[in-house]
């Protein structure tokens, strides 16, 4: 039987394949991903692919079809079962796999799902994903007939042991964990049972309907239960995960949120004590405060493009021991393997918090105080979004502005900065503004609005858009 398959174009994203189950993503897509990805592995001389899935209701059926497709390509499949995405990444490293695929919808709504892929230990993204789509459409796969083998392996014990190996807290802490019904639930409960101190886990049951709150720790509304419990217990801090536990959220002992760049600042200081002069990477959306703090702590701050695949690639290139994104992806290559893992980052945070001279809130309050907008997103056609960025950059450079073009346009001014970039995954432009005063924030909002209007864009209403 000849194989050819057309994916819904919107499902082939920059960093993964994802869509709405039953509308833009189907079991046939999962089979096609396995069939095509497996063919790429075989043609590259490989044989082993590790597969895992998250707690979404649609994940078991998609995983089954994915495995069918991989086996039809003649590869050997190791199924690690249901769990967090970092467990799959760990399996890929521990078994020196030629490829790895996680069935996960990450932090998206319950009816969404997708596939995160790794090839030879590196992120499989961008042109590789679009090429996979072309190969599937052309039926350009290895011949059928070679039926690969499959085995089920439980890596959770090895994974937990390896995480606990790097636990270095100097005193037992009281910590509240909000699993948010994520795929980490089973592993998380076993992890905290091994940790000294007092640990409370909210919503430990894995439930793909996410009945308590949406699994995205970058949104303040999703952290309210964690904040309340930390305050009630007088805990040292609280930890939250996204749907597949590759992103972390942290609240301090007062129940105040540490945003992605503040988490990275706390962890970076600790890493730099052992690795002075090391490069610490953060995405272009991070606060200038973070880059200044890394510099002050004796590190080499590096601003890079947003996107977990792009950050991982840059870490490997620069030998960076630590990187992070505003979205809560934290990447440790110091003692760890360089992939984003919220469970591991949380255990390292326990050690860091235990060594602070005061509380987590003391640390947060000692950082320079800035006012900023949350991430602002507004519609812009895919055919137009990158053109708008080019036009804005050209005008600003002609005007002599201080512009960084690593990922979109980041404009530095005496009282702060603003960023405008095109999303790689949606038909939207993304903006963020930070200033040292409310008046400065308003001035920078006006600058951004003027640039958008000069490119014929209807500027969004920024009134009230002041975050942390």
Residues annotated catalytic, as ranges = 106
Question: Comparing C-alpha atoms, which of 127, 146, 68 is closest to residue 101?
Answer: 68
User: Which residue in the block uniquely carries the two structure tokens 């497996």?
Assistant: 38
Question: Beta-carbon neighbour count of residue 423 at 10 Å?
Answer: 16
Between CA 26 and CA 250, with CA 312 as vertex, the angle to 5 degrees is: 85
Q: Are 305 and 125 in contact (CB under 8 A)?
A: no
> In angstroms, what CA-CA distances link 395 with 384, 399, 454?
17, 6, 9
Residue 114, token pair as written in the block:
């997708």
Residue 433, token pair as written in the block:
């503004």
Q: Phi first, then psi: what are they for 462, rounded to 5°?
A: -90, 5
> In angstroms, what CA-CA distances link 321 with 241, 245, 278?
22, 20, 7
Pairing verdict, β 416-422 and 409-413: antiparallel
> In angstroms, what CA-CA distances link 264 with 28, 68, 80, 319, 349?
40, 40, 30, 17, 10
Question: Beta-carbon neighbour count of residue 450 at 10 Å?
Answer: 11
E strand map for 262-375? 279-283, 300-304, 322-324, 330-332, 371-372
Burial 142-157 (b: 16+ CB within 10 A, else e): beeeeebebeeeebbe
Q: Are 351 and 444 in contact (CB under 8 A)?
A: no
Residue 9, token pair as written in the block:
């174009």
Residue 53, token pair as written in the block:
């899935």
Q: Are 312 and 287 in contact (CB under 8 A)?
A: no
- The number of residues making up the chain comes to 468
DSSP 8-class letter at 196: S
Secondary structure of residue 107 in the 3-state scheme: coil
């Amino acid at each position: 039987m000849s194989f050819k398959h057309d994916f819904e174009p919107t499902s082939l994203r920059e960093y993964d394949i994802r869509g709405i189950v039953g509308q833009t993503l189907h079991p046939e897509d999962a089979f096609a991903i396995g069939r095509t990805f497996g063919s790429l592995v075989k043609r590259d001389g490989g044989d082993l692919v590790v597969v895992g899935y998250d707690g979404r209701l649609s994940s078991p059926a998609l995983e089954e079809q994915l495995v069918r497709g991989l086996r039809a390509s003649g590869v050997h499949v190791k199924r690690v079962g249901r769990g967090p995405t970092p467990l799959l990444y760990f399996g890929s490293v521990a078994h020196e796999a030629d490829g790895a695929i996680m069935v996960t919808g990450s932090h998206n709504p319950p009816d969404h799902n997708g596939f995160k892929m790794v090839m030879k230990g590196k992120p499989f993204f961008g042109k590789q994903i679009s090429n996979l789509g072309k190969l599937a459409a052309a039926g350009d796969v290895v011949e059928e007939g070679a039926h690969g083998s499959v085995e089920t392996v439980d890596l959770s014990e090895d994974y937990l042991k390896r995480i606990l190996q790097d636990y270095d807290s100097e005193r037992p802490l009281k910590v509240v964990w909000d699993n948010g019904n994520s795929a980490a639930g089973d592993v998380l409960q076993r992890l905290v049972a091994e940790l000294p101190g007092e640990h409370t886990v909210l919503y430990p049951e894995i439930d793909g309907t996410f009945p308590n709150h949406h699994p995205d720790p970058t949104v303040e509304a999703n952290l309210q239960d964690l904040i309340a419990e930390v305050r009630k217990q007088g805990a040292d801090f609280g930890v939250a995960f996204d749907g597949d536990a590759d992103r972390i959220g942290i609240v301090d002992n007062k129940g105040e949120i540490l945003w992605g760049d503040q988490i990275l600042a706390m962890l970076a200081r600790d890493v730099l004590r052992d690795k002075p002069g090391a490069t610490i990477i953060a995405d272009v959306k991070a606060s200038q405060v973070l880059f200044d703090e890394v510099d002050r702590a004796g590190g080499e701050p590096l601003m890079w493009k947003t996107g977990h695949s792009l950050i991982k690639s840059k870490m490997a290139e620069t030998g960076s021991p630590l990187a992070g994104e505003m979205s809560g992806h934290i990447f440790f290559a110091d003692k760890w393997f360089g992939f984003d893992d919220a469970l591991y980052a949380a255990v390292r945070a326990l050690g860091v918090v235990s060594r602070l001279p005061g509380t987590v809130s003391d640390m947060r309050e000692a950082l320079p105080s800035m006012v900023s907008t949350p991430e602002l997103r507004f519609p812009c056609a895919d055919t137009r979004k990158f053109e708008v960025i080019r036009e804005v950059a050209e005008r600003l450079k002609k005007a002599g502005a201080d512009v960084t073009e690593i990922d979109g346009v980041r404009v530095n001014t005496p009282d702060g900065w603003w960023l405008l970039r095109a999303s790689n995954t949606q038909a939207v432009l993304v903006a963020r503004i930070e200033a040292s005063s409310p008046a400065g924030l308003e001035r920078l909002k006006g600058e951004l609005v003027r640039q958008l209007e000069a490119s014929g864009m209807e500027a969004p209403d920024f009134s009230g858009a002041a975050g942390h």
